[in-house]
Homo-oligomer: A and B are copies of this chain.
Amino acid sequence: MKSQIITEFGDPSVFQLSDIPKPTLLPGHVLIKVVATSVNQIDCKIRSGAVAAVSPVFPAVLQGDVAGIVDAIASDVTKFKVGDEVYGCAGGFIGTGGALAEYMLADVNLLAKKPHSLSMLQAAALPLVGITAWEALCQKANVKSGQTVLIHGGVGGVGHVAIQLAKTRGAIVYTTVLKPEDFALAKSFGADEVINAKEESVEAYVQRLTQNNGFDVVFDTVGGPNLDKSFAAAALNGVVATTAARSTHDLSIMHSKALSLHVVFMLLPIIKNKGRAAHGEIMSALTKVVDAGKLKLLIDPKQFTLATAADAHRWLESGKAQGKVVVSI
């Protein structure tokens, strides 16, 4: 089958369009005829070798997000049948194959039926960011109706999904963007208030929007010094959820406000092969939200194919993409 493989870490030029054998079915797995995949920041980091812990064995097929058609099923699989349209984040790193190929071997625990209302390209944009936002807001922070929720990066991949999920829970949603021209876009996802984080300090917007009480829940997809800002923005007994906590912090502010911090590491069940079924369940839940018209995807308009996958990585890394970068296979 045709695939993009890498045999060394590096910039996007390491991709090689190659013919490799179709993956062999394993128990509990299906073979997906890949129709689309999307590029996440983690895929670029894996490609560059920045995260050794999840590095695949060479030659490696990258990218986890997949949408496609079930082509073959293992004899013990009852969840899907050949011909089903499925989607999920099913690999692309240590111990798994990826979606930058005509066929992808995928653990059925990680998959769900694709939403009818999305194209394959749109569906491939959702899994990683959707599961991340769901784990953060619907599970760990457990956002409740009427709570105030601050979401950093409201026009980012995770952020735009997070705004919409928080709205489905009945929250009052505040979001930060970095450019005035992103205000309308963030509002279009349902944000009640949009903050220009380049122009206004945390102290100023906490005062202006919450009368200095802080937000019940803060979702931080940036990490590092931004995590301290998230602590500063949280209310007494508030909750901060983050996808990035690989840094050192004085927790005194957490103590003085009795905060909770939840780390979301979406890849963990895949890496550790533990609790994977939860991901399939989240994907099924996301399918319902999407088909109910409550979740739309922000897709960057540039078009990429398997042959131009390296360009898709370059485009995401340029920082100029607006929304998810998707690739047709």
A-to-B contact residues, CB < 8 Å? 53, 140, 236-237, 244-252, 254-265, 268, 272, 274-275
Please tell me if the beta carbons of A255 and B251 are within 8 angstroms of each other in the complex: no
Within the complex, which residue of B53, B248, B256, B265 is in contact with A258, where a contact is CB–CB below 8 Å?
B265
Please tell me if the beta carbons of B261 and A252 are within 8 angstroms of each other in the complex: no
Rounded to whole Å, the gap between the CB of A257 and the closest CB of chain B is 8
**Can you name 22 A-B pairs with beta carbons within 8 Å?**
A236-B274, A236-B275, A244-B255, A245-B252, A245-B254, A246-B252, A246-B255, A247-B250, A247-B251, A248-B248, A248-B249, A249-B249, A249-B251, A251-B263, A255-B263, A257-B268, A258-B264, A259-B263, A260-B260, A260-B262, A260-B263, A261-B261
Which single residue of chain B is at the shortest CB-CB distance from A255?
Answer: B245
How distant is the Cα of A258 from the Cα of B244 in the complex, in angstroms?
10
Please tell me if the beta carbons of A251 and B248 are within 8 angstroms of each other in the complex: yes
- Chain B contacts for A275, CB-based, 8 A: 236-237
Number of this chain's copies in the complex:
2
- Chain B contacts for A246, CB-based, 8 A: 251-252, 255
Within the complex, which residue of B244, B248, B249, B258 is in contact with A263, where a contact is CB–CB below 8 Å?
B258
How distant is the Cα of A45 from the Cα of B274 in the complex, in angstroms?
45
- Chain B contacts for A248, CB-based, 8 A: 248-251
Please tell me if the beta carbons of A256 and B265 are within 8 angstroms of each other in the complex: yes
How distant is the Cα of A246 from the Cα of B246 in the complex, in angstroms?
19
- Chain B contacts for A274, CB-based, 8 A: 236
Rounded to whole Å, the gap between the CB of A89 and the closest CB of chain B is 15
- Chain B contacts for A237, CB-based, 8 A: 268, 275
Sort A-B residue pairs by CB-CB distance and give the 9 closest, nearest first.
Answer: A258-B265, A245-B251, A245-B255, A260-B262, A248-B250, A261-B261, A246-B252, A246-B255, A254-B263
Supplied contacts A247-B250, A260-B260, 7 more A-B pairs, CB within 8 Å:
A237-B268, A248-B248, A249-B251, A254-B263, A255-B263, A259-B263, A261-B261
- Chain B contacts for A263, CB-based, 8 A: 251, 254-255, 257-260
